[in-house]
Structure formats: C-alpha cells, structure tokens
Structure 1
C-alpha cells in the first residue's frame, strides 16, 4: 500500500511526464494528487528536495517494472527475448507512458545536475545485468557489448512511439532481426578468427 509520500511522488512523476520540468511546483503536485495546499511542501521543503525524491521514487518504480519482466523471462531464443522486450516497449509507450516520459525529463535534468546520475546509474546497472544474462541465454558471446546496442535501440523505439504514436506498434520483428544479427555476426567473426 502506497504511503501519502509515495502518492505525492507518483502524482509528481505523472506531472513531470505529462507537462515537463517547468510544471513541477509544490502547488501543482498538491493539485495533481488531490490534496490540500501545502501537502507537498510538508514532505519536501525545496524544489530540489522534491526532485531528488522524484528520482528515487522513479527509480524504484522503473526497477519494479523490470523485476516484473525479469521474474517471468528465461529466453532461449532471440525470438523469446524479442517478444518480451516488445511487451516492455509497448507498456513503456502505453500504460507506463508518464513514467517513461518522466525518465527523459530526469535524464535531461541529470545533464545539469550531476548528483542525479548516481541514482540513475544504479538502476541502469541492475537492468544491464539482466540484459547481459538474457543476451547470453540467446547465444550472444559478447553480451557486454550487445547490451548497449539493444538497449539504445529499444530506447529509440520507445521514444519514436511516444513522439509519433502508431496504433499498431509491435517492434517484435525488428527486435528479433537485431538480436539475430548481433548473435550471428559475432559467431561468424569468431569462426573466421579461429580458422585463421
């Protein structure tokens, strides 16, 4: 059960995702949460404190989404992994749209406030660990390299869907083609290297 603090932060995340950093004020969060004026400032005295708490709450929610995916995912083929990542991409651009948009707003803010990078880096490191494991399971022999290729591609797919929504959005085939290409190209390179 979410606490009053978490309710405020979830409202702030939605506000940040839907209206951007400039809309993020204590009064706007109070209104978005449906609480009386001053509720947000009782928990977070400054805008910086509010933003730091938003990043912490955002990271926890995003980590929970990845943990939910990871709990049910043991891919054996590139197609298995592509299907799971496509579900994640659709959720990111659909039901979790505000959370995803807030991620981009937080990333932009982190370019101005380096202290936010540590929190984002910790969440990213955990996600990368899962990705590396999944890539290894589907046959990647260089998952530490491939994780960045796949992660950046997935981010681009989601960003494009957020900006230019396609009602039939299903990136499964594209993700499968990318994963297959990465795995096969690496195997071919290793085969050539071992034969020389």
Structure 2
C-alpha cells in the first residue's frame, strides 16, 4: 500500500504575514517558488500514481514547480473558508474577540465570496477526499497539494480523530511534506512538516 504524501503549498505574502488566506487566490512569493522546486527531487523518487490539488493557484503552481504531472484539481481541497476573517491575522481577530481560537471558536460570516465555513464542513470535505484516495493507495503513493489548516484536518481525519484534534498538530510550514500511511492495519501520521 502506498502513502498519502501531503504537500503544503509554497510561501505566499499572506502566509508570511500570518493572514488567513482561505478562498483568496494569493500567488507564491519567490521563496515559495524556490521551496516548491526543492521538493521535486524527493517527489520524483516517489512517482505518485495520482496527484490531487486544491484549485487555487498557490497549490497548483506548487505542484507544477515540484514536477508533479497529471494534477487533478479537487474543489474539496480548497482551504477553510474563513468568512469575515479572510485576510486578517489572529492578532487582528483577537482585538475584537479576545482569546479567539480558530479550532474552538470558528469564523464569522463574511461577504458573498467568503460566507464562512464551520469546522464540521471542512471535515466533511476532507472525508470525501480520503474516500476517493483510499482505493488509489492500493496502486502506490498519492500526492495531495493543499493548505495549512485543511492539511491538519485531513491528517486528523486520516487517523480517525475528530476534526477538532487538528489543533494538536503543528501548522505545516509552506513548501513542506507530510506522510500519512498505514502500519499494522492502523492509519498513522508517519512524518509531519518535513522540509
């Protein structure tokens, strides 16, 4: 059985500043492009049988620069819709909501382009992705290029935990790899946030 290779897209201006970039399509910085290219040799050795990506350009461009081919955009891999918190940092949100924490408190509705999403909705999307990926793993590795919070939820759901347990995983750095596998019949996180 193959592994699920989880790739966080390369750095953007918003990931650098700590702004919540859910549905806003932010391009990679030069550092983000360099990090994506640096993934290519390691991924070339793996030769995934399938590659899925968030449809946002920061993810699809990361996949391209990392040398991945036949990338299938999957709308279920788009980042959490942060609603009215789109573009804000945690510190800015806490100015109006002292003690705010995404995993516990969620988001507030935004405009029509950013209506907001509950954690359970993000989990339902990642569960749907995992249902599509599991049969493919019988033939080898599957690569997924996605976003930080979504990756945490996906990994948590992979090991069978409630999505709220994603708060226990460190935020994957831009341009890093994580590996989800099965050991002794049990889903595991075999590596997390590997540069």
Alignment TM-score, normalising by the size of structure 2: 0.29
Larger Rg: 1
Alignment TM-score, normalising by the size of structure 1: 0.29
Larger strand fraction of residues:
2
Q: Which has the higher contact order (CA 8 A, sep 6+)?
A: 2
